[in-house]
C-alpha cells in the first residue's frame, strides 16, 4: 500500500491481529510492545518491521511516563495512525491528545457490552448466545469511543473461553485490517487535499 501514511501497531501478546495487518499489506512503520519477549516482536522481525519495547514494568505506576514513552516510540517513526491490537496496558490522556481520533482498537465483544480485559469470559458467564467484536476509535475511557465496525459471532453450547475467543479472533483478523485499510485511504486523501 503506497499511500505514505504510516501505521504504528501496539501489541502485548501473540500478535495474530498484528500478523493479519502485516499480511494485508498495511504500511506498518513500527510495532510497539509493552513487554519484552512476546510473539508480536517475532512477527515484526519476520516482516522486517522495526520493533520498540516500552517495558511497562519500568514505568508503572507512572502511567503518564509510560504513555509518553509510547508516544515517543511512535513519533520516532512518524506514525499517522495507531492500531491497538491486543495491547494490555491502559494508556493515559496524552496519547489521545497526541493522536486525536487516530488511535484505533479492536475489542472481543459487541460494545458497549463486556468492556475490559475479561470480555470473552464475561460473555460466556452471562450466557449470551451472540457476542462478537468491535473496532472503535479509542478514547481515554477504556473500550469506549465511536464504533467503526462490529460483527456478531455465535456462542456455541460447548464453548470454552479459548474456543469462543478464537472464533471471535478469526473475525477480528478479517475485519480489523479492512477497517484500517479504509482509514489509511481516508488519511491519504485528506493529506493530499488541495485547499484553494
What are the residues binding ligand GRF (CB under 6 A)? 11, 13-18, 85-86, 106-108, 169, 172
Residue nearest to ligand GRF (CB): 86
Annotated catalytic residue: which of 59, 107, 136, 165?
A: 107
CB of 177 to ligand GRF, least distance (A): 11
Q: What value does the CA radius of gyration of the chain take, rounded to a whole number of Å?
A: 17
DSSP state of 91: P
User: What is the distance between the alpha carbons of residues 79 and 119, in angstroms, rounded to a whole number?
Assistant: 29
CB of 190 to ligand GRF, least distance (A): 27
Q: What are the grid coordinates assigned to 101, written together?
A: 481520533
Report the residue number, 13 or 51, with the smaller CB distance to ligand GRF: 13
Report the residue number, 67 or 131, with the smaller CB distance to ligand GRF: 131
| Peptide bond connecting 112 to the previous residue in cis, omega within 30 degrees of 0 | yes
- Whether 136 is a known active-site residue: answer no
Report the residue number, 3 or 180, with the smaller CB distance to ligand GRF: 180
* Cα→Cα distances 104→57, 89, 157, 193, 196, Å: 24, 14, 32, 23, 31
Q: Who contacts 138 (Cβ-Cβ below 8 Å, separation ≥6)?
A: 84, 91, 96, 103, 104, 105, 145
CB–CB of 17/86 below 8 Å?
A: yes
Q: Could you tell me which residues are beta bridge partners of residue 135?
A: 106, 149
CB of 11 to ligand GRF, least distance (A): 6
CB of 2 to ligand GRF, least distance (A): 25
Report the residue number, 67 or 106, with the smaller CB distance to ligand GRF: 106
Q: Tell me which residues are annotated as active site.
A: 107
Amino acid at each position: 500500500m503506497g499511500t505514505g501514511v504510516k501505521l504504528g501497531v501496539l501489541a502485548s501478546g501473540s500478535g495474530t491481529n498484528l500478523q493479519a495487518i502485516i499480511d494485508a499489506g498495511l504500511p506498518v512503520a513500527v510495532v510497539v510492545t509493552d513487554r519484552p519477549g512476546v510473539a508480536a516482536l517475532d512477527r515484526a522481525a519476520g516482516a522486517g518491521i522495526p520493533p520498540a519495547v516500552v517495558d511497562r514494568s519500568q514505568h508503572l505506576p507512572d502511567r503518564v511516563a509510560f504513555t509518553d514513552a509510547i508516544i515517543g516510540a511512535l513519533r520516532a517513526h512518524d506514525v499517522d495512525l495507531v492500531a491497538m491490537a491486543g495491547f494490555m496496558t491502559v494508556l493515559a490522556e496524552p496519547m489521545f491528545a497526541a493522536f486525536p481520533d487516530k488511535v484505533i482498537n479492536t475489542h472481543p465483544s459487541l460494545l458497549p457490552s463486556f468492556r475490559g480485559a475479561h470480555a470473552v469470559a464475561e460473555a460466556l458467564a452471562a450466557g449470551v448466545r451472540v457476542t462478537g467484536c468491535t473496532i472503535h476509535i479509542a478514547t481515554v475511557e477504556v473500550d469506549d469511543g465511536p464504533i467503526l465496525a462490529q460483527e456478531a459471532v455465535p456462542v456455541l453450547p460447548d464453548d470454552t473461553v479459548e474456543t469462543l475467543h478464537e472464533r471471535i479472533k478469526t473475525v477480528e483478523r478479517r475485519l480489523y485490517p479492512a477497517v484500517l485499510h479504509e482509514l489509511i485511504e481516508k488519511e491519504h486523501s485528506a493529506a493530499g487535499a488541495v485547499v484553494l
